[in-house]
Every structure is written in C-alpha cells, then in structure tokens.
Amino acid sequence: MSAQSMSADQRWKFSADRIPADLFAELRRDNLARWPTGSEVDVDEAAAFHKALPRHKQLGWVMRRADEEGRCLTQPRGGFGTLELQLELMRCLDKEGQADIVPTTTDSYTRNERWAEAEAGIEESKKAGRSMLNGYPMVNYGPRTTRRLIEAIDKPAIVLSGTAMPRLTSEVGFAAGFSGYLGSGLAYTTSYTKETSIEAGIRNYQYLDRLAALYQEKGVDLHRRQPGFLTGTNVPPCIAILTCVIDALLAAGQGVRNYGLELAQTLHLVQDAVAIRACRELTQEYLAAAGYDDVFTPVTSLHWMGAWPHDDAQSQALVAYGGTLAAVGGAVSVTTKSTHEAYGIPTPQANAEGLRTTRMAIYLARHIRLDTLPEYRFELDLVKREVRPIMDKVLEMGDGDVAVGTVRACEAGVMDIPWSPNRHLKCRVMPARDADGYLRIFDPGLMPFDAEVLAVHEERLRKRAERDGVPYDHDLAVSSVYEISEPLSNLIPFPWAAE
Amino acid sequence: MSAQSMSADQRWKFSADRIPADLFAELRRDNLARWPTGSEVDVDEAAAFHKALPRHKQLGWVMRRADEEGRCLTQPRGGFGTLELQLELMRCLDKEGQADIVPTTTDSYTRNERWAEAEAGIEESKKAGRSMLNGYPMVNYGPRTTRRLIEAIDKPAIVLSGTAMPRLTSEVGFAAGFSGYLGSGLAYTTSYTKETSIEAGIRNYQYLDRLAALYQEKGVDLHRRQPGFLTGTNVPPCIAILTCVIDALLAAGQGVRNYGLELAQTLHLVQDAVAIRACRELTQEYLAAAGYDDVFTPVTSLHWMGAWPHDDAQSQALVAYGGTLAAVGGAVSVTTKSTHEAYGIPTPQANAEGLRTTRMAIYLARHIRLDTLPEYRFELDLVKREVRPIMDKVLEMGDGDVAVGTVRACEAGVMDIPWSPNRHLKCRVMPARDADGYLRIFDPGLMPFDAEVLAVHEERLRKRAERDGVPYDHDLAVSSVYEISEPLSNLIPFPWAAE
Amino acid sequence: MTKAQATPGYDRSAKTLVTGVIGADTHIVGNRILSMALEKEGFKIVTLGALTPADEFVKAAIETAADGIMVSSLYGQGELDCRGFRDLCVEAGLEDILIYVGGNLVVGRQDWADVERRFLDMGFDRAFPPGTRTDDVVRALDADFAERERRSAKAS
Amino acid sequence: MTKAQATPGYDRSAKTLVTGVIGADTHIVGNRILSMALEKEGFKIVTLGALTPADEFVKAAIETAADGIMVSSLYGQGELDCRGFRDLCVEAGLEDILIYVGGNLVVGRQDWADVERRFLDMGFDRAFPPGTRTDDVVRALDADFAERERRSAKAS
Ligand code: B12
Ligand code: B12
C-alpha cells in the first residue's frame, strides 16, 4: 500500500456524511491498485454494460417491479472455486432451479482479502477436479472474465460476499455486470470478523455504498442489500431490524436509493410476518426522520439460518416452510437453502431442488395474509417498542450521526448481537425460544429495552422453562441453538411408546 | 350364497336404526361363510386380544388421548401384495417413518370382493418378486396370519380399504387386531363404485359399524373413521362435511362412539383450518340434534388428494404444507403422501420420508392458530351456511331417517359429489378454485344452496376468470383439476423473461 | 395448453373411440377429461366409465364399429388387467383396431421405457405415461389415423 | 442429552485444552458451546475464538502447556487450513499433544469415512463429523486421556 493511499484514508473523517467525490476518486485509485485485476475496472464502460442489459437482468429494476406486483422472488446462494464450476452452477440455478435471482458467493479467502491464498485454491481445485474453495474467487478472476457469468444466465445476478472488506470485490463485481450486492457495515463486521473494528467495517461499506451511488449518478439503479441474518443464530427480529435501520441510514447517507433489507426467519409464522412488515416500516420511519423519502427498501426473507437437521426429510420441511413464511409475510424475495445444509455446500442439483420446493410453497401460500390477526397486531406493536428506544439511543450517542453513534453504542453494549465472534461488541445479549415458538430475549445484556417489554419476554420464556421442566437459565439459550437441528425423535417422539 | 343368507339380508329393513342383535348374528354368519378364512373369526377371542394390547397400540385410546393433548398424529397409507412385503413396509413406517398410526391398505381385488383374483395376484407377486397388487389381500391371508402385522409394530394399526363392500374385510381386520378402520357408506360408495346403489353401500357400512359397536359392547373402544376425501378431486369443504355428518349419524345409529372424520386438504391455509373446525362442530351439532351426545369425532386432515406434480421438489412442498395445514387447523391426525404420489405407490422409504417431512412441518407450526382472523370467521360462517340447508333437506327427505333421506337426496341431486364414477348420483355439482385460492362451487347442480351463498362463490370465481383472462365456464373446473400438478414454469414463471 | 393441430389430414368425425377405465379401477377423472377433450376435438366418443371389464370394451367396440379403444388404468393393477387385451380384440375380429393405454400402468415408480415396452409387447399400439395431457393424445391419434389412411389408400 | 461419564479415571482439571476456529472461519457458535461444555465438565480451557491461524493454536498450546488442541473448522476450507498442522506441532516440540478436529471439514457433502481418513492421515488423533454433540467429545477425551495415563503408568 502506498503512502498516498494511507493519506486518502486518513483524510477521510469518520461520519455518516457522503464521501466527497474527489476524495472518493482517490480512495478508489488506491483500492484498485491492490490487485492486478483492479486495473480492468472502468466504471463508465461498466455503466454502459449495465444499461445495455435487458431490464429483467437488472436487479434494481426487478426488485422494484416484484414489489409493485406483490411477488416473492427466489434466490439461492452458491459459489464454486473455478469459473467453469461457477458457470455450470449458475446455469443450473437459472434453468433447473428457476431462480429469479442468481448468486455468486465468494470464497472465504477472497472475503478476507487473502487473494494469494485464493489463487492457490483455484489451482488446487483445478487439480482436484472439485472445489477446494467455498466460493468463487471473484477478484482473482477479475471483471472481464467474470462477465461471462452474467452472460451465461437470463436473470439478474447478485454478489454474496460475507466480509467486512468488500472494497475490491465490489469494484470487480459491479464492473463485471452484477446488479446486486449483499453486505453492510454493521451486519457483516459483527458476523464475520474478530478484530476488525466497527468503524473500519462501516467505512468499508460506506465505500461500497458510495460506489453504488456513483453508478446511480450514471443512471444505473443497482440493488444494494443489507444482510440482516448476522450470526444466523436465533437473532430476534428486533436486533435484526435495528441492524437494518442502521445500515440503511448509512447507505442512504452515501446516496444509495435501492436498498434491500434481509431478515432471517425465526420459523414462527406470525413472528416472521410481523418482522417483515416492521422492518420495512421502521426503516422507512427512520429514513424519513433523517430526511430520506425516496429510498426503496424491499424486504428479503431468509430460510432458517441456524443449525439444520441431519435428515433430508426434516430439512425438506424447513425448505418448504421457508417459502411459506416468506410468502405469508409478504417478502419481496426469499433466499433459499437446501437439504444439504447441515452437511456442506450443496450440489447444484440439491440447490435447484431447494429453489423449486420453495417456489411451490410460495405458490401455495401466496394468498395468505395475517395482518388482521390480533396476535399479529400485538407482536407488531411489541417489536416496534423493542426497536425504537434502542435506535433512538444509538442516534443520541452519535449526536445525530448514525455512524459515530453505532460505534459508540456497540462499545457500550447499547447495540449488541448474540453469538458474534467480534471483540468490539459486548456480545452479552442472549436469545432463546419461548413456549409458543417465538424468539425472545433471555438476557438483554446492556441493551436499553423497556422494562415492560422485557417483562413480556421473561414471562414467555419462564413459561417455556416450566413446560420443559428445566431451570430458567442460560441453557434455555444453548438448547435453542440446537433445537431445530434435533432429530424428530427428540422433537416429537411418539408420545406414549412402551418403555 | 345360501338362501338363508338372502333372507337375513331381506329381512333387514333399510333405515338408520340399529341392526337388532339376532338379525346381526345371522348376517355375520352368512358373511363369514363367504371365504374360508371367515371361519377363523371369533369376536370374543379378538376382543380379548385387543384388550391385552398396550393402550398405545389401541387406536381408539390413542385418538382420544391425542385430542386431549392437542397433538397432531401422523399416518401414511400403504399396502403390498404379500405378507412379507407388508411386514417390511409396516416396520419401516413405524421405525423409519416414525408414524404414529400404521396402515394396511388392501388391494383393489379385495375391495371388490374378488378374492380369487387376489389369490392369483399373491402368486404373481411372489413369482415376480415385486408387488403386483396395489395393497394387502387381507381376506386371503385371514385374521390369524394377519395378526403378525400387528405384532410387528409398536403403534396402533388401521385398515384402509376403499370399497363399498367392507363386510368380510372388516371382520378379518378387527379379528386380526386392527383397532382402526377407515370407510363409510356414503363416502366410499360414491368414490369407489359405478353400479352399487347408495342403499347397498350404506347397508354394508351399517354392518361394519354394527360390528364395531359389538366390540364396544365387549369393552373394546375401536376407532371407526369416515373418509371425507371422496373423489379426492377438488371436493369443497361443505360437500366433504355433509358426507361426514351423514356418515357419522349413520354410524352413531349403529352404536359407534369413536368416529373420526377425514377432510382432504384444499391447500388453502384458512379454508382448511375453517373446514377442520366446522366439520367437527357441525357433526356434533347434528349428532346432538339426533340425541347422540357421547360420540367422539376427531378430525383427520389429508394431504392433497388431487393430482400431484411430476417433480419431487414440488411434491416436497405439498408434503410439508400438508403438515402445516393439519397443525394450523388443529387436526388430531394427518394422513400423509410422498414425493412418489404422481408416479405410483411409494417405496417404503419414500413413504417414510413423507412422514418425517410432515412431522417436522407439524413441529414448526404447532403453535399457530388462525381462529381470530376475520377472514377465518367469515369463512366459518359461510361454510356453516352452506352445509345446514342441505343437511336439513336430507333429513327432511327421509322424514327424519338419515339413511332413507340420503338415498333420496342422492337420487334427487340434493346431495351431490363432483367427479364421482357412481351412476346413482347426479354428479352435476362442479367445483373450481377461485382467485384467492379457495375451492368454490362453480356449478351447484341441483344442490339447494342459499342464493346468497352461491353469489359469494360466483363472485369469487368470476374474479378468477377475469384475472386469468378466460371465459367464466366449465373449463375453470377442468383447469382446477390440473392446477396443482402443473409444472412450476406454468404456475409461477420468471415473470419478465426475454421473449 | 397448446392446441392440437387443427387440420389432421383425415376426418375426425368419422372416427369412433371407446373410452373406459379397465378392471376394478375407479379413477374416472382423467378418463372423463380425456373423453370430453376428444369429443371437443371432433371424435365420436363412447364412454364406458370406471370399473369396466376388458370384454366390455371389446363388446362396445364391436357394437359401435369403433376405430379405437382408449384404455385407462390408474390404480396400479393394469399390468394384470391388460394381459391378453389384444387377443380378446383379435378373437372378436378386431385385428386392426387401434388400442391405446394410459395412466399409472404399474405398481410403483418404475422406469417408463421399461413399462412402455411391456405394454407394447402386450399388443397395445401406444402406451402413455402418468401426466399425459389430452393434446398429446390427440396428436398421437392424428398421426396414427392419418398414417392408416395413407396405408389403406396405397393398398387399394 | 445424556450426561458424559462422571468418573473418567483421571483428573480432568489437570488437563488444559486450547480451542479455536482455524483459518478465515468465523463460525464461532459450535466452538463456543463446545468450550463452555468442556469447561463445565472440569477441563481447563483456553479459547482463541474464531479466525485463528494455525500457528496461534500452537503458540497458545506451548504457552499454556496444553494437553490437547480442539480445532474447529466449519466453512469448508478446513482441508486447506489443516494441512501440516501436526507438523507445526511437532516442530514446536509438541509431538504428543492430542489434536482433535471437528465441524464441517470439507466442501460439500462427502462420505464421512473418507473425510475422516483424510484428516487422520494429516495427523489428527480424531476427527468429528457435523452434528457432533459435546457429550461425545467429552467421552472421547476421557477415553484418550485415560489410555495415555495407563500407557505412561506402564512406561514408568
Ligand atoms: C384422485 C386420485 C384418486 C381418487 C379417484 C377419484 C375418481 N373417482 O377418479 C380416489 C381418492 C378415489 C383414489 C383412490 C385410489 N387410488 Co388414486 N389417485 C388419485 C390421484 C391423486 C390423481 C388421479 C387424477 O385424477 N389425476 C388427474 C387426471 C386428470 O389425470 P390422470 O388420471 O393421470 O389422466 C390423465 C392422463 O394419465 C391421461 N390418460 C389417462 N387415461 C388414459 C388413457 C389413454 C388411452 C391415454 C392415451 C391417456 C390417458 O390423460 C388424462 C388427462 O390428462 C393419483 C396420483 C396422481 N396422479 O397425483 C392417485 C393414484 C392414481 N391412485 C393410486 C391408488 C393406489 C389408489 C387406490 C388403490 C388406493 C387407495 N389407497 O385408496 C384407490 C383405488 C381404488 C380403485 N379400486 O381404483 C395410485 C396408483 C398406484 C400405482 N399405479 O402404482 C396413485 C398413482 C397414487 C399413488 N402414488 O399411490 N385415487
Ligand atoms: C450459523 C451458520 C453460519 C453463521 C455463523 C455465525 C457465527 N459467527 O458462528 C453465518 C451466517 C455467519 C455463516 C457464514 C458462513 N457460512 Co455457515 N453455517 C451456519 C450453520 C447454518 C450452522 C452452524 C452452527 O452454528 N451450528 C450449531 C453448532 C452448535 O454446531 P457446530 O458448529 O456444528 O458445532 C458442533 C459440532 O460440529 C462439534 N464441533 C465443532 N467444532 C468442533 C471441534 C472439535 C475438535 C470437536 C471434537 C467437535 C467440534 O461440536 C459443536 C457443538 O455441538 C451451518 C450449517 C448447519 N450446521 O446447519 C452453516 C455452514 C457451516 N456454513 C457454511 C458456509 C459455506 C458459510 C459461508 C462460507 C458462506 C456464506 N454463504 O456466507 C460463511 C462463512 C464465512 C467465514 N469466513 O467463515 C457451510 C460450510 C460448507 C462446507 N463445509 O461445505 C455450512 C455447512 C452451510 C452449507 N451447507 O453451505 N454460517
């Protein structure tokens, strides 16, 4: 890294403000110089490529249209270590899986900017004849070669790269013709890093969001998306929604206008439907309060993100229910898993099956809405009462600057995330499932929830402890991590069997 | 058949009244003489066997207990042509499938009392090494040998024998130790026969119900069950419920006190939940009016009974949703299908997978209830308004005798069933799916529905015709037969694909 | 649904087809929809309905001087029911009658090519797998009847 | 959950175990639950957390004079990350240290016997498949430590 690059980064004061154009140009130059394929990036050429794509291959347009038409689109995850394997995968997901949105997941070396190791992984994969990487090394292949992926399919494509360091991958991805990009500063830093500070993670995504806004200036409506799943481990809706609101405010600050919000399913039909609606409403509420009234924020529902059962038949129920929950909740898209989830990265065929099962489930439940159910209304009110005091406190701690407020709130434990590997969080909040199948907060840590609200959570969790005949303690949370992956003989045995 | 037998049958006047004990004894003697294994039947010995079974192998007890505990039990279908194959199947369903209730489906020759042909089928199956019969020929094997099936499992067992002629099979089944028996006079006569009169079918099931009552007198609480699925082809809840009410009244008349009601799923979350509740309430309402206040009538929900898709992945969604619908509707048990449904009788393994997927789906949805949803309340009221005028008319036509009334109502088209092969029905009523996914009545035939109620149906169906851009005609019904079996590319294509 | 060809190259209304479900089989829905569709496309249809013994098909075919018999079998025992069906036709003097069979012809999920061969060996002109749509049946009838017309035109 | 054996036949509190998730892997949940469970069962635990390079395991093991290293790998790249792990230990003078590996060790769904063999060949004492519960790990540790005590008792 050159001294020049250090200084552009140093001159960039940390705040929620939009990065000035000239400073951003410097940041970009430094960034693109970090790996040879960076030199292939040309935003004007890329913008022209995007605009020449048919609308149905542009995710920004597709998400807006799906929302208008009340559709629930399907999208899998998936990435393999070589271009050839990735081409085959994407074609399969497009055709056999009938995916509406086709993904490219990057490998973990790429996510950690360890491109040299990724290079070795490509070679190993070619030698072994199977993927030794857990995703597609996009930076190593570079935008020109990667564009072949876009050309191979007849759907819009999205980059999935779980990392706090997306600067170069996003440059390559957008330049290659990907019209969607998943990831955000708060969510991914807390789910994917140990030492990285929240500030550093937010900065990196401010870069990415500023880049998306640059395309927007050039007339390309890219779809940016926030990954609300976090650690995927029993994250209650309020915490996922808080992350969505914060990351959406940060993105809007950089000029993003097409920003999806993801929510991992809790697997409770009512809680998930409530969460999907509350997420969009609360995000819009805080965007409006911050002066943004033109940000499109569709919600994507994610198939169960916690541990899966080691039984294909059980997993089929999770896959199908994942479609049901998304459709009933009115999500604009759903991200799918497969029956291989507990074992490893799915084959293209298993992935395609997961898509089709989900699609059928969506078809079956497409008419169902629960908004008028009293229980729904109770939970909708509850989740809003959960989110607002904390979100208001975050903004207050930053004196109105959400970037600064978020860093301080994480340090203080005001904003917290369960089961995170990141050292810059308290990681004291602890969720558990209650007697009625809702995810609740067992231990709020230092998060300033309303006492009344917490009383509801505690009451429900005590009901469960009582029903299960176990103490009201931390084990409620640990057993909730395993729950969904338990064999059926533990979950619902034949009740009256002989001894 | 001896002259003696003719005359016992002749002396038995057709009505809803309980068959007198002495006449019944004569009927039984004649019946048991029709095939050599009939001589093995000894009700006292069998009653002792039943009472010696552990409670959890007695379906009567198990259904009552499941209802008290708010459980939704699982049960597959399944029968193979030889004892050995059937043993293996039942063990697999019990252990691998974790079925709560284990079935024995009889073959179609047995159902048509063509025992000589069934005998040939056994031989052919043994020669071919695979089942050439579509079920287990229970009468040919007889009660003594068949008891080995009961001994091989640790769950209660039920006989599934879709026929209007259950007299000998039921004798053999109960004597063998089966504690459940599916079938009823109106439902099965209209779904499984062409020439058999409704009167003949009802008589045959009066025999069976009277037999169950005989066991009841001896202290054995057998579970009798009504198959509400009828022709399995888009039967709207009101028609299935009418059949349940009629058959329940007939059974109660013979002394049955443990009588399950089956309902095929419409695949609409609200309609199915409403149907399950309405079925039990309406049946109890008419039982009470007829003076029966002690008949236990739990409802069983059936996985989609119409045509299935030729894609395992799609079928998985139907299987899983089948569990969801049953659980949300509060059914006491669910009868499952498998991903092989469109192709043929499933392998034991596919059958077991269907059970496990369903069980997981039940686990996931076990807390959900929709009773307070306004849409639910509207539909609950509607279905009751559909059933009552027709049921009242049926009773009126029989001058209070439900047996006589049913025969006359079928002749007159007052009681009608869609897509039936039976010549003694008008078969003019014609259902179709509406714009919101509800099964409605497109053509009431001669059934005396309320004009207001029919107006609701027509309005909803016209909405669908309009949405689909098709004429409001009979094709709405035909396309609804295919609908669920259509490939996804017809059901929900990627909406904006290139031409 | 794509429409079947409009001008089949022969006169559909001159062709009589007997339809029914063979054996102890009550699955009437597909057979009824098929009958309705064939009628709509112009064929003369004689419907025997569900639960029809093999000899009744032949009797009806003779009585109506039918050109073809459409046998449905869904319940899995078709393999037993359909044995000797061609012989019955031949014995009755219907050597050349077109016979089709369709539905879920065997017990369980078996390889279709294998199942098809078994039924063609039994003497059926064509066998159709589960899920067959009526348009495909019409297309097959058109091809076979047109071919027969050509053959008999040549022969004479 | 069935409880692990109460009296393992050696002193668990005298055993120190280093735990962590190897490579660029952030899957911390299972590793954290495992660490908590081992601690509860009486072992001394040194937790390195997620995203731990191979050499940090070895460094920590030397510093704490550990008796075993518990390597988690979930994200699929474990096969690359774990190569040479035993050599690193040996080079650092930890010839005899017990090393276990567990999680989703390879990319995709592969035959477990095959995967296990690959990791044993790399020098791990045991490898554990996806879905392993903490009780089974405790049982394995008990067996291995007890066996080692017996061996060293004999040797001396
Ligand atoms: C509805 C149904 C029923 C209804 C039938 C109602 C009625 N009166 O018709 C009920 C519930 C009563 C029923 C009963 C039984 N059924 Co059933 N049933 C079905 C189901 C779900 C749909 C059939 C259907 O209506 N399809 C819709 C129509 C439009 O399609 P189709 O029938 O396939 O017909 C089309 C084509 O096949 C073709 N075609 C049909 N015939 C012909 C003929 C020719 C010449 C040609 C060219 C084309 C052709 O054109 C038609 C129109 O497109 C199927 C499974 C499935 N397909 O999903 C099982 C299925 C056919 N049934 C089956 C069985 C076993 C039974 C029972 C024996 C079992 C039981 N457990 O009760 C009994 C049979 C009793 C008896 N004696 O016949 C099995 C057959 C198994 C096998 N072959 O291995 C199936 C496949 C289910 C399964 N996987 O187990 N069934
Ligand atoms: C939750 C989860 C996540 C969370 C992790 C949150 C966190 N900070 O921990 C999030 C969402 C962030 C995530 C991210 C990713 N994940 Co992930 N994830 C899972 C998931 C669903 C559950 C894991 C889990 O927590 N299980 C619960 C715990 C209690 O069980 P466990 O981890 O297996 O641990 C137990 C045992 O294995 C054993 N054990 C564990 N370690 C050890 C060590 C020893 C020595 C012993 C004896 C025993 C042992 O004991 C533990 C306690 O019982 C699994 C799939 C599944 N299992 O259902 C995928 C899975 C592990 N993830 C996978 C992948 C690919 C990823 C990503 C690369 C992909 C992506 N698309 O984003 C990234 C990884 C990024 C990175 N750099 O690491 C793959 C791995 C693929 C493979 N091996 O082929 C899996 C299998 C999913 C799949 N089928 O694709 N993931």
- A176-230 pLDDT, tens per residue? 999 999 999 999 999 999 999 999 999 999 999 999 999 999 999 999 999 999 9
3-state class (DSSP) for residue A446: coil
Residue B1 pLDDT: 45
Bridging pattern class, strands C98-103 and D16-21 = unpaired
Angle at C21 between CA B132 and CA C127, to 5 degrees: 70
8 Å CB contact between B353 and B247: no
Segment (H or E) for A155: none
CA D128 to ligand 2 centroid distance, Å:
14
D80 at interface of A, judged by CB pairs closer than 8 A: yes
Q: Is C6 a domain residue?
A: no
What confidence tens digit (pLDDT) does each residue in D134-150 have? Answer: 999 999 999 999 999 88
Instruction: Please tell me which residue of chain A has the smallest CA distance to B361.
Output: A317
Alpha helices (runs of H) in chain D, residue ranges in sequence order: 29-40, 54-63, 78-81, 85-91, 112-121, 134-155
Chain B residues whose CB is inside 8 A of the A312 CB are 353
Supply the pTM of this predicted model: 0.96
**Which residue ranges have their beta carbon within 6 Å of ligand 2?**
A 77, 105, 108, 111, 134, 160, 162, 191-192, 229, 231-233, 305-308, 340-342, 344-345, 419, 421, 481; D 24-31, 33-34, 70-72, 74-76, 100-104, 107-108, 128, 130, 132-134, 137
Chain D and chain B touch, per 3+ beta carbon pairs within 8 A: no
The sign of the dihedral angle between the CA atoms of C78, C84, C90, C95 is positive
> Domain range holding D103?
12-155
Is residue D2 pLDDT above 50, yes or no? no
Greatest alpha-carbon pair distance for chain A in Å reads 76
Using CA atoms, how far apart are residues B249 and B226, in angstroms rounded to an integer?
Answer: 11
Other C-beta atoms lying within 10 Å of the C-beta of residue A398:
18
C1 confidence band (pLDDT: 50, 70, 90): very low
Please answer yes or no on whether D131 and A485 come within 8 Å at the CB atom: yes
Residue ranges of B 56-75 with Cβ closer than 8 A to chain A: 56, 62, 65-66, 69, 71
Q: Is residue C3 part of a domain?
A: no
Quote the ligand 2 centre to B141 CA distance (angstroms).
53
User: What does the H/E/C string look like for B288-353?
Assistant: HHCCCCCCECCEEEECCCCCCCCCHHHHHHHHHHHHHHHHHHCCCEEECCCCCCCCCCCCHHHHHH
Q: Is C27 a catalytic residue?
A: yes
Mean of the pLDDT values across residues B243-266?
A: 98
Match 């070895």 to its residue by tokens. Answer: D58
- Averaged pLDDT for residues A161-190: 98
Q: Quote the ligand 2 centre to A430 CA distance (angstroms).
A: 19
Instruction: Choose from C77, C83, C114 for mutation: most chain B CBs within 10 A.
Output: C77
Nearest CA owner, ligand 2 atom 47? D102
Residue D5 maps to a domain? no
Distance from CA of A488 to the nearest CA of B (A): 7
Q: How confident is the model at residue D8 (pLDDT cuts 50, 70, 90)?
A: confident
B263-267, B295-299, B425-429, C76-80, range with the lowest pLDDT? C76-80
Report how far apart, in Å, the C-alpha atoms of B374 and of each of A18, A374, B274, B377, B386 are.
Answer: 47, 10, 12, 5, 18
Take residue B198 and report the two structure tokens written for it: 């409704």
Tokens of residue A437, six digits: 């199948």
Q: Which residues contact A455 (CB under 8 A, 6 or more apart)?
A: none
Number of domains in chain D: 1
Question: What mean pLDDT, rounded, does chain A reach?
Answer: 96
State the pLDDT at residue C6. Answer: 61
- Give the whole-angstrom CA distance, residue B367 versus residue B70: 10
D2 within a domain of the structure (yes/no): no
In-domain check, residue D1: no
Work out the average pLDDT over C116-126. Answer: 96
Closest Cα of chain C to B110: distance in Å?
Answer: 10
Give the tens place of pLDDT for each residue, D79-89: 889 999 999 99
Q: Evaluate if residue A247 carries a pLDDT over 90.
A: yes
Lowest-confidence region among A65-69, B125-129, B405-409, C54-58: B125-129
- Measured between alpha carbons, how far is A45 from A43 in angstroms, rounded to an integer? 5
Alpha-carbon span B73 to B157, nearest angstrom: 13
pLDDT recorded at residue A1: 45
> In the structure encoding, which two tokens stand for residue B294, read together?
């002690």
**Count of alpha carbons within 13 angstroms of residue B67, beta-carbon side:** 16
Decide if D87 is inside a domain: yes
pLDDT at D153: 84
Q: Which two tokens stand for residue A459?
A: 């009451």
Decide if C127 is inside a domain: yes
The radius of gyration of chain A's CA atoms, rounded to the nearest angstrom, is 22
Determine contact, residues B179/B57, Cβ cutoff 8 Å: yes
Q: Is C5 within the bounds of a domain?
A: no
Task: Examine the pLDDT at B357 and tell me if it is beyond 80.
Answer: yes
**Contact (CB<8Å) B372/A368:** no
Residue B321 CB neighbour total at 10 angstroms: 29
CA neighbor of B346 nearest in space, from B87, B23, B133, B77: B77
C-alpha span between A325 and A271 (Å, rounded) = 10
β-strands A439-443, A430-433: how paired? antiparallel
What is the rounded average pLDDT for all residues in chain C? 92
Active site residue C125: no
Q: How far is CA A398 from the centre of its chain?
A: 25
Choose one of C2, C27, C110 to mutate for the ligand 1 pocket test, by most ligand atoms within 8 angstroms of C-beta: C27
Residue range A282-329, pLDDT digits in tens: 999 999 999 999 999 999 999 999 999 999 999 999 999 999 999 999
Domain CATH code at residue C113? 3.40.50.280
pLDDT at B498: 66
Mean pLDDT of B112-122: 94
Q: Quick check: C155 pLDDT over 90?
A: no
Measuring CA to CA, which residue among B351, B349, B198, B370 is closest to residue B272? Answer: B370
